[in-house]
């Protein structure tokens, strides 16, 4: 019997378009002899729209963004939404290919838990803790993982005492520093600041995306990443390095320029790799992750590591870092997808 996969993509987040690209790639890679693919599109305004079962790979993103005529009110018809069809019952596995808030942050995962459906990737806790950079860093700090200095603010706190906020950043972190929305990804809303006026602008910008922001000490370092795959016994991929041609790895560099070099495996020593692997697996376990995670690090010229973040639903096109890391570790893209589907089933079975 074929495994019925409900593919959830799009999403009400700044990363909607990235998710669409990923959905195309995953559909193309899924073996239609083994899998039935049922697309579920979430529009940028948050409508959930179920498409017909896909009998062939799509070649055009427009085919994946269904017209509003079939739109369902947001998750209200969830039981129906998660039936493959009336005859064949619920999906075997949901694959939430969603990045950022309302997708990667535990909200959709919570819905799937309530529906008692197996789903690919991280659970509610890891997803939400991993989405909020402040919470994530607090957990890592508790676990003794090395990190740059950071501080954070909520919008109203800043609005009431802006100068206090800027002074705190200058006193505790200095320049350069990075200002980021606490709950986002793909570098959206992130600025590097070298002086007070840039800091003021950066706060304003980041607060457009979130009511909470994080500010970090800026480091000059190589960016080294590793993929972690598994449930209770996670494994670590080879390391990869990203070399942005720009000031930092911003949204454009990630998705538009094609100018960023990915070096896999990264040129690091065996000792450095072993340190990386230990930290990546530790980060995975400390946040109680499952399925997959991409763990991102900074490595300074002096050989000092800092963990930057983990991503609980990392970029997942065949040209994204996570799948490429696994390819170099010996797991090809279609195999990787199957592994994730099996890990989802395994985790679900263990919960019962
Ligand atoms: P996102 O979740 O959006 O990817 P990141 O925290 O990874 O956010 O930041 C995006 C990019 O900004 C990083 O890949 C790196 O290039 C740069 N960056 C972020 N924080 C720092 C920092 N503290 N020091 C130096 N560069 C940073
Ligand atoms: Mg991220
Ligand atoms: Mg990042």
* Nearest ligand atom owner, CA of 189: 1
Place of tokens 């990787």: 336
The sign of the CA dihedral 202, 208, 213, 214 is negative
DSSP H or E run through 96: strand 93-96
* CB of 148 closer than 6 angstroms to any ligand 1 atom: yes
Whole-angstrom CA distances from 348 to 39, 82, 83, 164, 214 are 21, 16, 18, 48, 34
pLDDT at 351: 83
SS3 346: helix
Residue 268's nearest CA partner among 301, 235, 296 is: 301
Distance from Cα 11 to the centre of ligand 1, integer Å: 23
Contact 254, 315 (CB under 8 A): yes
Ligand 1 pocket: which of 99, 151, 187, 320 to mutate (most atoms within 8 A of CB)? 187
pLDDT at 227: 98
What span, in angstroms and rounded, lies between the C-alpha atoms of 102 and 108? 6
Atom of ligand 1 lying closest to residue 251 CA: 3
The sign of the CA dihedral 64, 68, 73, 77 is negative
Ligand 1 pocket: which of 140, 249, 261, 321 to mutate (most atoms within 8 A of CB)? 249
What span, in angstroms and rounded, lies between the C-alpha atoms of 301 and 304? 7
pLDDT at 16: 87
Atom of ligand 1 lying closest to residue 218 CA: 24
Other Cβ atoms closer than 10 A to 126: 24
- Which class is 150-217 in CATH? alpha beta
* CB of 218 closer than 6 angstroms to any ligand 1 atom: yes
pLDDT at 76: 45
pLDDT at 4: 95
When computed from its CA atoms, the radius of gyration of the chain, rounded to whole angstroms, is 20
Looking at 3.40.50.150, 3.40.50.2000, 3.30.470.20, 3.30.300.20, the CATH number of the domain 130-145+220-351 comes to: 3.30.470.20
pLDDT at 86: 63
* Assigned CATH topology for domain 3-119: Rossmann fold (3.40.50)
* CB of 309 closer than 6 angstroms to any ligand 1 atom: yes
Helices marked H in the chain: 16-29, 61-64, 78-81, 107-114, 124-131, 133-142, 155-160, 162-172, 196-207, 251-255, 270-286, 321-329, 333-351
* CB of 243 closer than 6 angstroms to any ligand 1 atom: no
Residue boundaries of the structural domains of the chain: 3-119, 130-145+220-351, 150-217
What span, in angstroms and rounded, lies between the C-alpha atoms of 315 and 21? 10
pLDDT at 116: 92
Distance from Cα 237 to the centre of ligand 3, integer Å: 18
pLDDT at 278: 98
Distance from Cα 13 to the centre of ligand 2, integer Å: 13
| Cβ partners under 8 Å of residue 330, min gap 6 | none
Per-residue pLDDT in tens (0 to 9) along the chain, 352 residues: 899 999 999 988 777 888 998 999 999 999 999 999 999 999 888 888 888 888 877 777 777 777 544 555 444 445 566 777 666 668 999 999 998 778 889 999 999 999 999 999 999 999 999 999 999 999 999 999 999 999 999 999 999 999 999 999 999 999 999 999 999 777 889 999 999 999 999 999 999 999 999 999 999 999 999 999 999 999 999 999 999 877 777 777 676 666 688 999 999 999 999 999 999 999 999 999 999 999 999 999 999 999 999 999 999 999 999 999 999 999 999 999 999 999 999 999 998 7
Distance from Cα 191 to the centre of ligand 3, integer Å: 13
| DSSP-derived secondary structure letter, 73 | -
Distance from Cα 142 to the centre of ligand 2, integer Å: 20
What span, in angstroms and rounded, lies between the C-alpha atoms of 293 and 290? 8
Distance from Cα 295 to the centre of ligand 2, integer Å: 9
CA-nearest residue, atom 5 of ligand 1: 187
DSSP string covering 234-288:
-EEEEEEEEE-SSSS--HHHHHT----EEESS----HHHHHHHHHHHHHHHHHTT
| Cβ partners under 8 Å of residue 9, min gap 6 | 19, 20, 22, 23, 39, 40, 41, 42, 64, 97, 98
pLDDT at 45: 86
pLDDT at 79: 54
Q: What global pTM score does this model have? A: 0.92
């Amino acid at each position: 019997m074929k495994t019925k996969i409900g593919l959830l993509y799009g999403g009400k987040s700044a990363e909607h378009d990235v998710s669409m690209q990923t959905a195309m790639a995953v559909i193309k890679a899924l073996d239609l002899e083994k899998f039935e693919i049922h697309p579920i599109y979430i529009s940028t305004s948050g409508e959930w729209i179920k498409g017909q079962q896909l009998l062939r790979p799509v070649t055009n993103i427009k085919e994946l963004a269904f017209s509003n005529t079939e739109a369902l009110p947001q998750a209200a018809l969830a039981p129906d939404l998660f039936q493959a069809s009336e005859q064949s019952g619920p999906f075997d596995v949901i694959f939430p290919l969603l990045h950022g808030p309302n997708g990667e942050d535990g909200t959709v995962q919570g819905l799937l838990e309530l529906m008692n459906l197996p789903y690919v990737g991280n659970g509610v806790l890891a997803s939400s803790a991993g989405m909020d950079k402040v919470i994530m860093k607090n957990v890592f700090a508790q676990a003794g993982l090395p990190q740059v200095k950071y501080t954070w603010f909520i919008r109203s706190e800043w609005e009431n005492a802006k100068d206090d906020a800027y002074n705190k950043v200058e006193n505790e972190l200095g320049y350069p520093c990075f200002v980021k929305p606490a709950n986002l990804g793909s570098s959206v809303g992130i600025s590097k600041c070298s002086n007070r006026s840039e800091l003021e602008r950066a706060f304003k910008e980041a607060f457009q995306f979130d009511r909470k922001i994080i500010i970090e000490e800026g480091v000059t370092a190589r960016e080294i990443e590793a993929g972690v795959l598994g449930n209770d016994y996670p494994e670590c991929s080879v390391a990869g390095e990203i070399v942005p041609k720009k000031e930092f790895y911003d949204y454009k560099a990630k998705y538009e320029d094609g100018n960023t070099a990915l070096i896999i495996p990264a040129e690091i020593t065996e000792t450095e790799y072993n340190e990386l692997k230990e930290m990546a697996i530790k980060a995975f376990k400390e946040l109680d992750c499952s399925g997959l995670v991409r763990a991102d690090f900074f490595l300074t010229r002096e050989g000092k590591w800092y963990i930057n973040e983990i991503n609980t639903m990392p970029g997942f096109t065949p040209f994204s870092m996570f799948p490429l890391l696994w390819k170099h570790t010996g797991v090809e893209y279609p195999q990787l997808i199957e592994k994730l589907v099996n890990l989802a089933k395994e985790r679900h079975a263990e919960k019962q």
